[in-house]
């Protein structure tokens, strides 16, 4: 008798900068989510689909959970993460950065009762004393009541296969939710905006990455193979000074940003791209509900 097909949604949750996006990319063996060493890089729920013989695992990379949001954008990020965890997930993998976390950092997580939780102590490739690891495991286990605890390094791959096996074993019986071969539910223009934003996080510092929103105005795929697609995007910042920093002297920094983002986008799409970027000022957009909605951040 042929075994039933299994499919389900798995939310990757945790505080900002604990390695959720890195884990998603490691599970998929493909770089779908942007990553940065700076916190709050992920702003949207990103769905990554892993499929195989008899299963389809739909991973939800969520924004970092912020206990006390300091502005409407941070509130929107918590709403986005909470919705994925509360409403969508059949299983939650809760990540903890063992190099940075403290036992007292356990926040009021939006986990709903009845959804199984796997606790993943991440970044175990770092030199962390066993006493600290044990204290973190005890504190988070008491708070989250996980079914199992894993020690992993999402970056190095250690423990990821064991975690994946447990995830797949816990998927409910269900037909697939998405067509065979589909990697995500997002359009290419969404990933284009994310790739540009990733380069902003890599190249700029202080408040610039967090004050930048990227909107793809045009994504035109060329009908002839080998000819570049046209991608035109606008970067919104909050101050004239931030605009000047991104552009740089004589436009040098903007050219570097464009070149790096174009190369990353070509690598992602597997075809040539002509990328053009414009910089505009939208004063205090992170505090403006209308701007947040326009840029795809929902506060309710």
Report if residue 269 sits inside a domain.
Answer: yes
Indicate whether 300 pLDDT > 90.
no
CATH of the domain at 250: 3.30.300.20
* 201 and 103 together in one domain: no
* 238 and 113 together in one domain: no
- Alpha helices, H only, the chain: 20-28, 72-83, 130-144, 160-169, 188-203, 240-247, 252-269, 289-294
* 39 and 101 together in one domain: yes
pLDDT of residue 137: 92
The C-alpha angle with vertex 116 and arms to 114 and 117, in degrees rounded to 5, equals: 130
CATH of the domain at 98: 3.40.50.300
* 163 and 225 together in one domain: no
How large is the average pLDDT for residues 12-40?
93
Report if residue 59 sits inside a domain.
Answer: yes
pLDDT classification of 65: cutoffs 50, 70, 90: confident
CA dist., res. 77 & res. 207, Å (int): 17
| pLDDT one-digit tens code per residue, 145-177 | 899 999 999 999 999 999 999 999 999 999 999
CA dist., res. 146 & res. 129, Å (int): 22
Model confidence, pTM: 0.92
Report if residue 183 sits inside a domain.
Answer: no
**219: helix, strand or coil:** strand
Structural domain ending residue among the three candidates 169, 200, 220: 169
For residue 173, give the DSSP letter. Answer: B
| pLDDT one-digit tens code per residue, 134-146 | 999 999 998 888 9
Report if residue 1 sits inside a domain.
Answer: no
State how many domains the chain has.
2
pLDDT of residue 105: 67
Report if residue 49 sits inside a domain.
Answer: yes
Which of 71, 55, 61 has its CA nearest to residue 12? 61
| pLDDT one-digit tens code per residue, 182-207 | 999 999 999 999 999 999 999 999 89
* 162 and 20 together in one domain: yes
Structural domain ending residue among the three candidates 127, 142, 169: 169
Structural domain ending residue among the three candidates 135, 169, 203: 169
Q: Whole domain around residue 61: which residue ranges?
A: 6-169
Report if residue 178 sits inside a domain.
Answer: no
Q: What percent of the chain has pLDDT over 70?
A: 96
* 148 and 219 together in one domain: no
């Amino acid at each position: 008798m042929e075994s039933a097909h299994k499919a389900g949604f798995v939310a990757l949750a945790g505080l900002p900068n604990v390695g959720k996006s890195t884990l998603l990319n490691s599970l998929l063996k493909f770089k779908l989510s942007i990553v940065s060493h700076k916190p709050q890089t992920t702003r949207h729920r990103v769905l990554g689909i892993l499929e195989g013989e008899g299963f389809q695992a739909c991973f939800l990379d969520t924004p970092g959970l912020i206990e006390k949001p300091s502005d409407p954008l941070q509130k929107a990020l918590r709403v986005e993460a909470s919705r994925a965890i509360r409403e969508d997930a059949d299983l939650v993998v809760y990540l903890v950065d063992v190099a940075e976390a403290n036992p007292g950092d356990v926040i009021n997580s939006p986990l709903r009762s009845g959804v199984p939780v796997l606790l993943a102590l991440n970044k175990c490739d770092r030199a962390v004393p066993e006493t600290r690891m044990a204290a973190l495991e005890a504190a988070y286990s008491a708070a989250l009541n996980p079914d199992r605890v894993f020690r992993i390094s999402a970056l190095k791959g250690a423990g990821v296969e064991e975690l994946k096996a447990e995830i797949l074993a816990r998927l409910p019986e269900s037909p697939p939710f998405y067509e065979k071969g589909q990697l995500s539910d997002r359009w290419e223009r969404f990933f284009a905006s994310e790739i540009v934003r990733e380069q902003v996080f890599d190249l700029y510092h202080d408040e610039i990455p967090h004050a930048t929103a990227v909107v793809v105005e045009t994504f035109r795929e060329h009908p002839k193979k080998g000819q570049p697609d046209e991608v035109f995007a606008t970067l919104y910042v909050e101050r004239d000074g931030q605009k000047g920093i991104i552009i740089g002297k004589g436009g040098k920094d903007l050219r570097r940003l464009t070149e790096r983002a174009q190369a990353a986008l070509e690598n992602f799409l597997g075809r040539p791209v002509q990328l053009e970027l414009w910089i505009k000022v939208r004063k205090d957009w992170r505090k403006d509900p209308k701007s947040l909605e326009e840029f795809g951040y929902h506060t309710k």
